[in-house]
Amino acid sequence: MSMSRIVYVNGEYLPETDAKISVFDRGFLMADAVYEVTSIIDGKILAFDGHTERLERSLSELDMKAPCSIDELLDIHRELIKRNNLTEGLVYLQVTRGIADRDFAYPDVEPSLVLFTQAKNVVNSPIAKTGMKVISIPDIRWGRRDIKTVQLLAPSMGKMAAKAAGCDDAWLVEDGFVTEGTSNNAYIVTAEGTIVTRNLGTEILAGITRAAVLRYASEAQIKIEERPFTIEEAQAAKEAFVTSATTFVGPVIEIDGAQIGDGKVGDIARRLREIYLEESLKTAI
């Protein structure tokens, strides 16, 4: 961990060692908090509007107050990027319901807002070149995965299971069908070249990258089917990949030990990654 970062906490820009949150903060006690992660390239924020729209939706689904306006959020992002000389990486943002005596009922208090930066090579990530190996595991998460809460223990356990198996990530399976990855949306490409990805609902997070990638795929005349698929169908697919704000399009070359296609990064995944990067840089702010 870099100990020299400046982080934002409730109106203040502080060295990370001085940035503190109360033990009575409901984010800490009850995971009563939502978050967003955006990628930064050349000091600019990718897909800011999409992420703040989803943040507003997460807040509203939980009857949580917004900590400030979207314009103020943009100012905070920019100030933090500047103060940390961040050219490439990510900004993490978290809103918690706030600080109150422990009680299951929501208190009427002011929300807490925390943002920090993380330097990272998001463009030239090794996974984009080599592809990733995934395992499948049961999806043990709660029923409102459409809300981006900080309850990340189940995905953390999934990531550890993947590591223990010598793999990079896990795909989560519910009632025989893949929901999504631990921190990304999951896709396969059929022999006919059709992209298949789980339809939106409370079972998965509506990825901001997912929306953009499906739009670019459809503009490139690639057929799309939004429906559940099984691990068996995925293992027999021509290609597989994931999307997220920080992975962009991440090729998958192995699922539960079965090689996907020729075991190399797929053409559609590579092309969509290029298009995504090129297009999202045009709207970066």
The answer to whether 163 is a known catalytic residue is no
| Cβ–Cβ under 8 Å, residues 84 and 116 | no
Q: Does residue 205 touch ligand PMP according to CB under 6 A?
A: yes
Q: Compose the 22-41 pattern: x for residues touching ligand PMP by CB under 6 A, - for all others.
A: ---------------x----
Q: How does strand 248-255 pair with strand 132-138?
A: parallel
Please report whether residue 159 would count as binding ligand PMP according to CB under 6 A: no
For residue 15, the cross-strand partners are 6
DSSP annotation of 206 reads -
Q: Which one of 96-104, 122-130, 163-171, 181-189 is the stretch in contact with ligand PMP (CB under 6 A)?
A: 181-189
Selected binder of ligand PMP within 245, 253, 260, 268 (CB under 6 A): 245
**Residue in 33, 9, 248, 244 with CA at minimum distance from that of residue 148:** 33
Cβ nearer to ligand PMP, comparing 207 with 251 = 207
Q: β-strands 33-41, 89-96: how paired?
A: antiparallel
| Catalytic entry in 148, 163, 223, 282 | 148
Cα–Cα dist 85/78, whole Å: 10
Give Dmax over CA atoms of the chain in angstroms: 57
Q: How many CA atoms lie within 13 A of 72 on its CB side?
A: 8
> What does the per-residue mask of binding to ligand PMP show for 97-136, with x meaning CB under 6 A?
----------------------------------------
Q: Does 158 bind ligand PMP (CB under 6 A)?
A: no
The distance of closest approach from Cβ of residue 155 to ligand PMP in the complex, given in angstroms and rounded to an integer, is 6
Report the C-alpha gap between 52 and 99 in whole angstroms: 23
Query: Among residues 32, 139, 168, 180, which is the contact residue for ligand PMP, using CB under 6 A?
Result: 180
Should residue 196 be labelled a site residue for ligand PMP when binding is judged by CB under 6 A? no
Map tokens 């809300």 to a residue. Answer: 147
Q: Which residues bind ligand PMP (CB under 6 A)?
A: 37, 180, 183-185, 205, 207-210, 243-245
Which of the residues are catalytic? Answer: 148
